[in-house]
Chain A
Amino acid sequence: MNCTEFEREWQELDDPSLFSPPMEDHMRNCARCAALVREMNLLRWEARQLAEQEQPPARLWANIRSELSREGLVQEAGARSRLLDALSFGWLPRLPMGVAYASVFFLALVGVEHIRDRVSPPQAPSVAQSPAPPEIALEQTRAAAEPAREEETVIQRVIEKAPPEKRQIYLTRWNQLNNSSDVLRSFVAAHPDDRQAILQLSEIQDQQRRFLESVMRWELEEF
């Protein structure tokens, strides 16, 4: 399966988290598609958090309005500008929740596509994605030797939102993986030519990523 086939199958899934075995295989071997899935899961989770959040206080919009009015950028009440209408977000609560979700997803999708196009050149669709050779895997692991701060922040937020009975399990296992990763990272720093140690570090980082994906999905689906 190549990246194009993966994306096509992914779009056709009823549930975007229910991957077929060939898709799972592809994700294991393609960092780009795996990252795309992670990004989308994160966006889904963020979208849910967004929907659960309360609207900003009315005084915030009032302050913005008075500030814009003072700057002469908008007219006072009675002749509200489109900009102000848009800023007030008054339309958001009136939309059905489904449409709101759809809007967030669409924007997120556009964002991901945009970022992806900027980060990596488009791939020829006919070329099958082959597993990364060991040298590339080693380089990727070395490059990822710095802790993924963004993932750390995300998982902490997801764990904080989880029900209390699950929070402890998640936290314990996440810390366990982090500790292992730290120990191996130190070892690799001291033994940069030890291929097995580097690959083992790569395994632990994969486990961290899988754990992050699973926890986000479970919490997203209200398990």
Chain B
Amino acid sequence: MRPKLKLLQAWRWATMPAMAAALCAAPPAFSEAIQRDFATIGNPTLILHIHSGAISVTGWDQNRVDIQGERASADGMDLLIEGNAEKVSIETHPKRQNLTRDEARVDLTIRVPRQALVRVESEQGSITVEGVEGGVTVEGATNSVALTRIRGHVTARTVDGPIVIRSSEGVVQADSISGDLQFVEVNASQLTGTTNSGAIRYQGDFGMGGTYKLHSYSSPIEVQASPRASFDVDARSIQGAIENRISLPSAAPATTTMQQRRTGRSVQGRVNTGKSTVQITSYSGTIRLSGGR
């Protein structure tokens, strides 16, 4: 019995410094729950100006803006939420310099009337917007941006982060310096996707009889047209290659026949009846075309 007790005491003394160190190293988290609700008109404006964190905005069929979330550190970040029937704004500002990414984090899950106009500015973290029809503008630095079922004007811009737009319609503008752009089932009266070194991928119908422009400087552009897609295509890579797997039997009105230069850097032609116009250009990236009929 006695040796056992001694062993226990020794173990207790041995573990005590370790426990004290652990307590000092990891002080209790001062995270704070956020919960606000505003009665609004049917098409209010939501403005988010967030330093860092996961942001999710979803359209719903109620004239209310509902805000739920968590602020990782009340000591680190100021949080300002203001609202009235027409406009709700949320801003975060660092209280001091040299905050860690986690200290600066404010996660938000927001529901807005479907016709709301949403504008998000953030520097780090994920941004998702879904089911909004009043227009969406997202501007980020290293954020990943995902926009789903959006209608109206859509503008998304990042420095490094990827942008994914799915099942959306309207006037779409996506722009990143090194982030990838992905368009899945996006039908636009006007769509522009521009990157410098991020890959661009379009999968879908090229619907609405719109004009689609995809530009990259050095990165690949991949187009996977659905069988019902109808468009005139003009693709050119100045220094890169083109890998075309789309059958282009008929020429677009402005061109002669499918032109494939000897260097394989240019393709023009018509798919189905050529309802939409697709212009793809890259300086040194590879352009890959596939799908269609």
Contact = CB atoms under 8 A, between A and B. Distances in A.
Which DSSP category, helix, strand, loop or mixed, fits chain B's interface? strand
B137 A211 contact: no
Contacts of A196: 236, 238, 281
Contacts of B160: 169, 173
A194 B261 CA distance: 15
A117 interface: no
Nearest to A172: B178
Contacts of B123: 218, 223
B155 A21 contact: yes
Contacts of B197: 176
Contacts, number: 82
A210 interface: yes
A89 interface: no
A25 B139 contact: no
A60 B93 CA distance: 37
Contact of A180 (B94, B155, B196): B196
A196 B173 CA distance: 19
Contacts of A200: 215, 217, 238, 281, 283
A163 B97 contact: yes
Interface string B199-240: 000000000000000010110000000000000000010100
Contacts of A19: 137
A187 B196 contact: no
B91 to A, nearest CB: 9
Contact of A210 (B175, B178, B281): B175
A90 B153 CA distance: 50
A184 B47 CA distance: 37
A221 interface: yes
A197 interface: yes
A222 B117 contact: no
Contact of A218 (B141, B196, B281): B141
Given A196-B281, A200-B283, A20 B171 contact: no
Interface string A124-149: 00000000000000000000000000
Contact of A21 (B47, B139, B153): B153
B157 A210 contact: yes
Contacts of A62: none
A81 interface: no
Contacts of A194: 238
Interface of A: 15, 18-22, 24-25, 28, 163, 166, 169, 173, 176-177, 180, 183-184, 187, 194, 196-197, 199-200, 203-204, 206-207, 210-211, 214, 218, 221-223
Interface of B: 47, 49, 51, 93-94, 97, 117, 119, 123, 135, 137, 139, 141-142, 152-153, 155, 157, 159-160, 171, 173, 175, 177-178, 194, 196-197, 215, 217-218, 236, 238, 281, 283
13 contacts: A24-B155, A25-B171, A169-B159, A173-B159, A176-B196, A176-B197, A177-B196, A196-B236, A210-B157, A211-B159, A214-B139, A218-B123, A218-B141
The 5 closest A-B pairs by CB, nearest first: A21-B153, A180-B217, A21-B135, A173-B177, A203-B215
